[in-house]
Structure 1
Amino acid sequence: TYLLVVQNSDELRATGGFISALGVITLEQGRLANLEFVDSYRLYHEDQSYPPAPPPMNQFMNIPYLLFRDANWSPDFPTTATLLRAIYRQETGVTVDGIVTVDLHALELIVGALAPLPMANAPEALTGANVVDFVKDMWAQPEEGETITEVGLGQWWGQRKNFIPALAEALMAKLRSGRIDYIAVAMAAEQALNERAIQIWLADETAAAQLARLGWDGGLQVRKGADYLSLIDTNMGYNKANAVIERSLAYSVTWPTAPTEPAVATVTITYRHPLTLPNHDCDLTPRYGDDYDDLVERCFFNYVRLYVPNGSRLLSTAGLQEDSVNTTRGEDGTQIFAGYFVLPPGETTHVRVQYQLPATLTPETYQLLIQRQAGSGPLPLQVTVGDGQLRTTLHNNTLLWSVP
């Protein structure tokens, strides 16, 4: 038995997005025997005990304990998958053999490779270009054809994710038909894996090690002896603002004049909310709107984490709420600098974090590995290390760079 975890990257979480639903995959002799989808909100029982939520989720979202839908707090997917597996076992008594994540970008890639994809209730055949819009429309107006305001919140809530199993069945039917471009499908799957739109964790240690070597397990890719940087955003606003949020990152390293002093690193992240909504109130109250766009047209409540090399020491921050700034040990021997901010529509903000790097990093052997967060989209980068400079956009999982 395997879990297919559906993540909505418009509400960004550490491993790619809010866990909207999960598919339970049953295989018999290597063949698909059953695929059943469950709304992630259904995995909750009042009589169960759950692990405590990470302090930031408790502080800024008023979430006291960690349910399945919020359990992808760690950006290291093997760590998150282990927790998801434990919670699912507690809820159902079933121990799964593996967990696979998919996000909206993965859906675009796979549907694009299979297009045109016929599907009931779709006004036209689905393609990579229109499938996300179709999903949003079906969420707001389920297959019965009635909106939230027409049927009431309760009835709509129970129907809002009915499109997921229907879409999965349309995909499986197209695959079973044999009328597909197998090379295009394989290339789309490989691109999704390389870009962390799909991540795979397996309980089998040998298979898991092979996935890790390929970089397809969603794990942190810390490299011994190298500088490391990963920007992790967590949308804490109960909304889909990440659908429009624009991000870019500038990173600089200044070498000391004295050989015994550590280098100083400065990270500046620019966040832009491009929508114009005059007199908009930044209300954190969890609520649905009349349609999907209403969830997008809201303030961006963001908890930002920087994963950096172990031994780094925080010097200063700007652009974060002062009482939210903290530093903790991270997964895979990393150090985390973190904090919280709120970005209203129509505004731009800059988050700046300055810290000392470990003394083991020197100009003579310097390498930098930057890892992009799953689900976060392409990340424009500007890197300055001493006299070396790099401008690029990171699409894949990682970038390894040495100063020329």
Structure 2
Amino acid sequence: MKLIIEELEEKQKILIISTRKYPFLDILKNNLKKLNSEIYFSSLIPKSIQDFDYCFVINEKVNFKNLNYSKKNHIVHIFLKKSRFSPQSPFVGKIVICTGDFIREHEIERILWFSFSKSDEKQLLINNPSLTKKHIPPALIFPWKISLSFKSLIILVISLTMLFHVLFILPLIMASFYSYQAYNSLKKEDYQSTEILLSQSFRAYYLARLLYMKVRPTYLLFSIALFPDTTIDILDKGLQTFQQSLSAKKNGEYILKLLLKKGKTETEINETKLRMQNIQKQLASIEDNLTGLVQKLPLQFNLTTNTKKQLLETIDGLHRLNKLFPHITGILQNPDEQKFLLFFANNMELRPGGGFLGSFGILRIWNYTVEDIEIHDVYDADGQLTAHIEPPMAVKKYLNQPHLFLRDSNFSADFSENYEKAKFLLDKEIRLRDFNGAILLTTNAVQNILAAFGNIYLPDFKETINKDNFYIKTQLRTENDFFPGSIQKKSFLGTLARQIIIQLEQASFQKIAKNVKKSLDEKQMVIFFEETNLQKLVDSFYWSGRVIQPKCSYQIGSCNIDYLFPYDANVGANKVNFYIQKSINDLINISADGNISHKLTIMYKNESYDKVFPGGTYKNYFQILLPKNSAIKQVTKNGVTIDEFIETNNEYKQLGFYFEVEAQKTAEIQIQYQLKTDLSKGKSLFQYVVQKQIGSSSPNFSMEIVLPQNFTIVNQNFSPLVKDNRMLYNTSLSTDKIFFIEIIRN
């Protein structure tokens, strides 16, 4: 066997010392690796280099007195950006001098050849340019000098001064844009985007304000500071309002969470109290800022017309809430249980007080805690009545009820009267008493509230409820196979109430507040409180469902009050009001001697189908309240005189009669009456109050006033069409209306 002997070459150890990471170091390392070497790198000069065969020192001076080395150690010094180098004794190794601050790849090869060669040469010079040297192209070098004449210098100074005086406009426009976008995001309840846009708007606003304040004295000098002052003030109030609204929202969410929590600690009760005080201040501040904002908004721009209308509605809601807030706090913080009756009125079976009372509930509150909401079927209570209570004539005659029960107790057009009857009946039926107030909600009010929740799933019934299907689902669940004593309606509505409370924290606060106010304004929800001062406040908002006692709002010469309140009672035991369309037209003639005659026409259209649930014939006991001194001339249905009607004279003249409207038919009710007034010579005030029934739809209402030649209209609080001493006004009777007309009789 032939033996082959190979001599293994031992790898050389090479150390590179550099305090900076130069670009050429990677090239140096790669080339050294090709030479089968072990490469080491250090940013500091070690005390000893005896373990290394070669040592490359980059741009550093070595103190050889303190360095431990031997003759076998080969040291190569590489200096950058030098043209020459004079070593001081003692000095060991070879020197590479580069005139530039970088080394190319082919120059690395020269350095390595020089480093590893055994020649006696000690220095290697590499001429290369510097990367950091700026090379200015000839085209950018101006060979001439710029010289300005005195006139040009003056123009330049004036131009710069003018520019400085309008510099604030750009950030002001940006701040306005971001604020408007924040307003739109807030309306859409996109609170995250609102906060981002608000932050951007604040930055732009502060810059605009800073720049404007520098030049404001000049604007004042020339009397042109009004517009920028107004714009900046609008922005300031708007931004403060946005910021406070977001803060109040977060505070309100936490308060709601605390109110719904049972068994609170003393700390949590105190926190709720402090947060209630804080949100009251926030709401008051928001109202003040919005009021100031509306006063500043210019009327002449169409862009602000709708915005201003929305702001006025918001201010009205905040004003009412701020007035109510101390009373709300008083109810919540009371250490004694506060108990409120809840009435659920089905206004698809309309009654004078809002609708058939199918269910009622009890809300219990004490010590900043909503303790419980109980829902009861009205038949649970009515089934326990043992005493005889005389019912109203219409209930006895048309509903064939010999006794008055809770379900028929809201047969008055005044909610306070119905509340007193309901309290009396509940005491007699199931010994429930000592209530602090009551709230009536119609089907429409519940639908308005559900609009803020979207879909609500009821796991016990495997049903999804929303504002659109609430009525139909409720009717199917409560009417099918119903019998007195059945618990299906109570169970269904109770489950829905509990799910609403559970999902309250996820609901839209903005929509809840807006829709609750809408329900109160439109009399789909009415409230009564036992506490006198609080009830007076609710009365002033027209939220209590009372029959108004008209009084002259202000005195101008003689004051003449006219009044109209028509209301229906479905006595057909069906839900046909879902299909009834109603319109009211009042033709008012004022004679030359100042007397007033009315020709009131009310149209009923029954769009239901006969014998198809929930429609059928509309059996209506109609009633109307008129001024006490009015004289009835004629009552007709479809042109045929109605002789059988009940007329009473108490505080008002009350007229009542029964009529029917068959399915797919129309009925025209016409009432003609006269009113003696004191429209004497000179200036007079004609005040006309028209009330809407609780729970009724919002019928179209048109009013035509015909004046003789000796009367002149001076002013009115509505916008009619006027031609040849005739005034025509159309509106929707969504709430109670009060019309003022100032008249001069010649």
TM-score w.r.t. the length of structure 2 is 0.47
Residue 367 of structure 1 corresponds to 687
Residue among 79, 83, 86 paired with 2:417: 79
Runs of 5+ unmatched residues, structure 2: 1-338, 553-560, 707-725
Residue 496 of structure 2 corresponds to 167
Residue 382 of structure 1 corresponds to 702
Asked if 1:227 is matched to 2:562, the reply is: yes
Q: Give the conservation status (yes or no) of the 8 Å contact 1:321–1:340.
A: no
Residue 183 of structure 1 corresponds to 510
CA shift for structure 1 position 44: 2.5
Residue 608 of structure 2 corresponds to 275
Asked if 1:248 is matched to 2:559, the reply is: no
TM-aligned CA distance change 1:123 to 1:312, over 3 Å = same
Residue 345 of structure 1 corresponds to 663
**SS where residue 440 of structure 2 aligns?**
strand
How far apart, in 1, do the equivalents of 2:500 and 2:644 lie?
44
| One-letter code aligned to 2:434 | T
Asked if 1:100 is matched to 2:433, the reply is: no
Number of equivalenced pairs: 372
Residue by residue over 1:138-170, the C-alpha shift from the partner in whole angstroms, topping out at 9 and shown as x without a partner, is 224xxxxxx53xxxx549944244311011111
CA shift for structure 1 position 384: 0.9
Q: Give the conservation status (yes or no) of the 8 Å contact 2:380–2:485.
A: no
Asked if 1:325 is matched to 2:648, the reply is: no
How far apart, in 2, do the equivalents of 1:321 and 1:15 lie?
28
Residue 623 of structure 2 corresponds to 305
Asked if 1:202 is matched to 2:202, the reply is: no
Residue by residue over 1:190-230, the C-alpha shift from the partner in whole angstroms, topping out at 9 and shown as x without a partner, is 11111111111111111111110111111123322431111
Residue 393 of structure 2 corresponds to 55
How far apart, in 2, do the equivalents of 1:324 and 1:44 lie?
32
Structure with greater proportional helix content: 2
Matches within 5 A, 1:33-48: 33-44=371-382, 48=386
Asked if 1:239 is matched to 2:557, the reply is: no
Q: Give the conservation status (yes or no) of the 8 Å contact 1:372–1:379.
A: no
TM-aligned CA distance change 1:321 to 1:69, over 3 Å = farther
| One-letter code aligned to 2:468 | A
Runs of 5+ unmatched residues, structure 1: 141-146, 281-292
Residue among 452, 455, 459 paired with 1:116: 455
Residue 283 of structure 1 corresponds to none
How far apart, in 2, do the equivalents of 1:160 and 1:34 lie?
19
Residue by residue over 1:75-114, the C-alpha shift from the partner in whole angstroms, topping out at 9 and shown as x without a partner, is 1111211221122222233221111100111111101012
Structure with greater proportional strand content: 1
Asked if 1:90 is matched to 2:428, the reply is: yes
How far apart, in 2, do the equivalents of 1:315 and 1:162 lie?
51
Q: Give the conservation status (yes or no) of the 8 Å contact 1:381–1:393.
A: yes
How far apart, in 2, do the equivalents of 1:199 and 1:321 lie?
36
CA shift for structure 1 position 37: 1.3
Q: Give the conservation status (yes or no) of the 8 Å contact 2:576–2:617.
A: yes
Residue 23 of structure 1 corresponds to 361
Asked if 1:263 is matched to 2:583, the reply is: no
Residue by residue over 1:324-345, the C-alpha shift from the partner in whole angstroms, topping out at 9 and shown as x without a partner, is 4111235xx3221221101110
Q: Give the conservation status (yes or no) of the 8 Å contact 2:375–2:490.
A: no
How far apart, in 2, do the equivalents of 1:371 and 1:154 lie?
36
Residue among 336, 351, 364 paired with 1:13: 351
Residue 289 of structure 1 corresponds to none
CA shift for structure 1 position 64: 2.4
Residue 399 of structure 1 corresponds to 737
CA shift for structure 1 position 122: 6.4
What RMSD, in angstroms, separates the aligned Cα atoms of the two structures?
2.3
TM-aligned CA distance change 1:353 to 1:84, over 3 Å = same
| One-letter code aligned to 1:348 | T
Q: Give the conservation status (yes or no) of the 8 Å contact 1:227–1:361.
A: no
CA shift for structure 1 position 70: 0.4
Q: Give the conservation status (yes or no) of the 8 Å contact 1:318–1:351.
A: yes
TM-aligned CA distance change 1:39 to 1:117, over 3 Å = same
How far apart, in 2, do the equivalents of 1:106 and 1:40 lie?
19
Asked if 1:132 is matched to 2:471, the reply is: yes
How far apart, in 2, do the equivalents of 1:95 and 1:322 lie?
45
Bigger Cα Rg: 2
TM-aligned CA distance change 1:323 to 1:61, over 3 Å = farther
**SS where residue 218 of structure 1 aligns?**
coil
Residue among 539, 555, 565 paired with 1:212: 539
Q: Give the conservation status (yes or no) of the 8 Å contact 1:71–1:84.
A: yes
CA shift for structure 1 position 121: 5.5
How far apart, in 2, do the equivalents of 1:212 and 1:80 lie?
16
Residue by residue over 1:294-343, the C-alpha shift from the partner in whole angstroms, topping out at 9 and shown as x without a partner, is 2x22111101111112221211100188464111235xx32212211011
| One-letter code aligned to 2:698 | P
How far apart, in 1, do the equivalents of 2:484 and 2:593 lie?
68
| One-letter code aligned to 1:202 | F
Q: Give the conservation status (yes or no) of the 8 Å contact 2:379–2:485.
A: no
CA shift for structure 1 position 32: 1.8
How far apart, in 2, do the equivalents of 1:375 and 1:47 lie?
27
Q: Percent identity?
A: 21
**SS where residue 135 of structure 1 aligns?**
helix
How far apart, in 1, do the equivalents of 2:343 and 2:364 lie?
14
How far apart, in 2, do the equivalents of 1:191 and 1:169 lie?
23
How far apart, in 1, do the equivalents of 2:359 and 2:443 lie?
13
How far apart, in 1, do the equivalents of 2:349 and 2:364 lie?
29
TM-aligned CA distance change 1:91 to 1:155, over 3 Å = closer
**SS where residue 38 of structure 1 aligns?**
strand
How far apart, in 1, do the equivalents of 2:627 and 2:380 lie?
39
How far apart, in 2, do the equivalents of 1:37 and 1:256 lie?
56
TM-aligned CA distance change 1:276 to 1:118, over 3 Å = closer
How far apart, in 2, do the equivalents of 1:317 and 1:346 lie?
23
TM-score w.r.t. the length of structure 1 is 0.85
How far apart, in 1, do the equivalents of 2:484 and 2:648 lie?
43
Which of structures 1 and 2 has the larger relative contact order (alpha carbons within 8 angstroms, sep 6+)? 1
**SS where residue 403 of structure 2 aligns?**
coil
TM-aligned CA distance change 1:361 to 1:239, over 3 Å = farther
How far apart, in 2, do the equivalents of 1:122 and 1:21 lie?
19
How far apart, in 2, do the equivalents of 1:256 and 1:137 lie?
55
With 22-31 and 210-219 compared, the bigger mean Cα shift is at: 22-31
Q: Give the conservation status (yes or no) of the 8 Å contact 1:5–1:21.
A: yes
**SS where residue 607 of structure 2 aligns?**
coil
